[in-house]
Amino acid sequence: MDKEQISTNNAPSAIGPYSQGIKAGNMVFTSGQLPIDPKTSQMSEGIEAQTKTSLENVKAILEEAGTTMERVVKVMIFLKDMADFSKMNEVYSKFFTGVYPARSCYQVARLPKDALVEIEALAII
């Protein structure tokens, strides 16, 4: 199976040796998206704003690959503090309609750039 690199200026550039996303067959895999505004390269403040920005970055990569948030089947969320879970969920729920994707959510010791959240997704085309 061939794989295709997905890259868009509507999400932050990779800060290491990885791709923003990969399309393989009818699947799209995004790398973890930090809450960095691709236009300003600045990180948003607070868990609600950071969750929104991370999900907007995921959405931009999926759209570049030819799919949508409605086609997401799995989401992985990494939180700096599980105390932010309910606030993250409030924002997260606004990005999906119909059947929510399967999801994992973990509290981690530290995220790149000391972000409060990082989100990655797997979608079908």
- By annotation, the residues acting in catalysis are 105
Q: Supply the Cα-derived Rg of the chain in whole angstroms.
A: 14
Residue ranges with strand state E in 14-101: 21-24, 27-30, 72-79
C-alpha to C-alpha distance for 4 and 96, rounded to whole angstroms: 25
67: which DSSP letter?
A: -
